[in-house]
Amino acid sequence: MPFKDLREFITKLEEEGEAVTIREEVDWNLEAGALVRLAGEKNLPAPFLNRVKGYPEGYRLFGGTLANFRRIAIAMDMDPDTHPKDLMEEFLVRKKNPMKPVLVDSGPCKENIYTGEDLDLTKLPIPMIHEGDGGRFLGTWHITISKEPESGWVNWGMYRHMLIDNNTVGILQTSAAKHLWSMYSNMNGPKDKPMEVAIAIGVEPISTLCGGTPNPYGISEVDIVGGLRGEPVELVQCETVDLAVPATAEIVIEGELRPDDLREEGPFGEYSGYSSAPKTPRPTIHVKAITHRNDPIFTFSCLGVPLDDNLIWCMAKSAAFLEALRERGFPVTGVYAVPESSTFFTVVGVKPVYPGIAADIAHLIWGIDAAHASPYVVVVGDDVDPFDVPQVLHTLATRCHPARGIVKAENCPVTPLLPFLDPQEREYRKGAMVYFDCTWPLDWKPEDVPNRISFSECYPREVQEKVLKIWNEYGY
């Protein structure tokens, strides 16, 4: 059964050993971030912090929500030990059966409502996540909701938000291609006209998963959430803007995006494992209302050196690339945007049915919006498991010819969050990409192809079975 809210999900995580309640007082200033960062790096249970320094009893913090594949599997109501490949296949199957949301009269997110002079974002336990961040970030694990007035299309995205003051929030603008900014550009009227937005924090896990995944322009993520859950999302109307938000959200912030009001935003410890660019003037959101549940849970992500919640980007990109390649008829065996590489390194397994197939695969991937953050594409044969990183590294080192097998492309659109870009490349969002062809040339004779020496490939099946029997009997 799908989880109705974040609280049900946390309870299930605790039952599966994937979350732990910490009752000691924890400081929102760096200490909470350090706990979540260490938990991610060590693959420890997600910290559920029940006492936050300087805040009333009942105000809580939760981080690392989907920081490993077990938690993603649990969120999808699957066996926690489901292989990532099977998770992605199920993800794609469910995506094909979207369900429209249902509007309800009210919900838990309306238990406390603040407007006018009562507005004060600092009453929420917004963490200072990393040392060196430009401020306290309230939007790191959430969904940002906006609507195109003419078409009625609703977009759920995940755009980072920094606290500016008690009723103003910054928003990161990395690319005009991002749906929120494309939506604003397509709106009729003056380009300095405010745009209504809502920020929902602490929603059930599939909503956040979809908020951080790439989908075509015009597709409403809330419909996909319904398909993935097997049950429509219940939405409730906002108080001050013409938007609907998840009824069971822990916290909702309503406001207007004002592109003409630029304030300094950043830096922030990003998913690349490095701090982002210095403070930069960026658009702001002026808050009109705050609503929240009793004893609200503030969710956040402490991004950095993998692994952490950026795992949802691995899942989303891998599935998007796999779907696109299959639609074009490529005989792919799997796609894996390696999370340890901050998903900048994508491995594609394929049956090499014609010379140059690696080039076609790379260019198709680079044509997908999500690939702007995948500058490295590695194409391996169908005898290599794309999810087996040690095997992929061995294949890269032994099958990719240093001259013929490495092909780079320049002046490509890229995300400015790539750490290796110089200032000019970052400003104009132009960089380079490369693909590695790790398939054996098709014009080689069979005897020219070296045999790989491994347990599964260079021993007869009967010998393997006998060894495995002995292996198990002696408790190896």
Q: Is the pLDDT of residue 475 over 80?
A: no
Question: What is the β-pairing status of strands 234-237 and 244-246?
Answer: antiparallel
User: If you average pLDDT over every residue of the chain, what do you get?
Assistant: 93
Contact 155, 183 (CB under 8 A): yes
Packing angle of the helix pair 221-229, 84-95 (nearest 10 deg)? 120
Which tokens hold the place of 335? 């796609």
Mean pLDDT of all residues in 63-77: 97
- The amino acid at 234: E
Q: Is the pLDDT of residue 152 over 70?
A: yes
Strands (E), 374-414: 376-381, 406-413
What confidence tens digit (pLDDT) does each residue in 398-424 have? 999 999 999 999 999 888 888 999 999
- pLDDT at residue number 370: 61
Which tokens hold the place of 141? 């694990």
Contact 64, 39 (CB under 8 A): yes
Four-residue CA torsion sign, 124, 130, 131, 135: negative
Higher pLDDT, 416 or 291: 291
Of 196, 270, 201, 273, give the one whose Cα is nearest residue 239.
196
Of 286, 281, 291, give the one whose Cα is nearest residue 257.
286
Question: What is the β-pairing status of strands 195-201 and 234-237?
Answer: unpaired
Which tokens hold the place of 221? 């993520």
Pairwise CA distance, residues 322 & 329, whole Å: 11
Cis peptide before 339 (omega within 30 of 0): no
Of 320, 348, 325, give the one whose Cα is nearest residue 436.
348
CATH (one of 3.40.109.10, 3.50.30.10, 3.40.1670.10, 2.40.50.100) for 311-448: 3.40.1670.10
Q: What is the largest CA-CA distance in the chain?
A: 80
What's the predicted TM-score (pTM) here?
0.92
- pLDDT at residue number 378: 98
CATH (one of 2.30.110.10, 3.40.109.10, 2.40.110.10, 3.40.50.2300) for 6-300: 2.30.110.10
Contact 61, 305 (CB under 8 A): no
CA-to-CA separations, 407 to 36, 410, 437, 439, 459, in angstroms, rounded: 39, 10, 8, 14, 36
- pLDDT at residue number 63: 98
The DSSP 8-state label assigned to residue 179 in this structure reads H
- pLDDT at residue number 124: 98
Q: Where along the chain do its domains lie?
A: 6-300, 311-448
Please state which of the ranges 26-35, 198-207, 345-354, 466-475 shows the lowest mean pLDDT: 466-475
What is the rounded end-to-end Cα distance, in angstroms, of the chain? 38
Residue 132, exposed/middle/buried by CB under 10 A (0-12, 13-18, 19+)? exposed
In the beta sheet, which residues pair with residue 353?
Answer: none
Q: Is the pLDDT of residue 369 over 80?
A: no
Distance of CA 312 to the CA centre of its chain: 4
What confidence tens digit (pLDDT) does each residue in 240-258 have? 999 999 999 999 999 999 9
Higher pLDDT, 418 or 5: 5
Contact 377, 341 (CB under 8 A): no
Mean pLDDT of all residues in 182-186: 69
Of 168, 119, 174, 148, give the one whose Cα is nearest residue 429.
174
- pLDDT at residue number 176: 52
In the beta sheet, which residues pair with residue 47?
Answer: 20
- pLDDT at residue number 187: 63
For 450-457, which contacts have Cβ atoms below 8 Å and span 24 or more sequence positions? 452/383
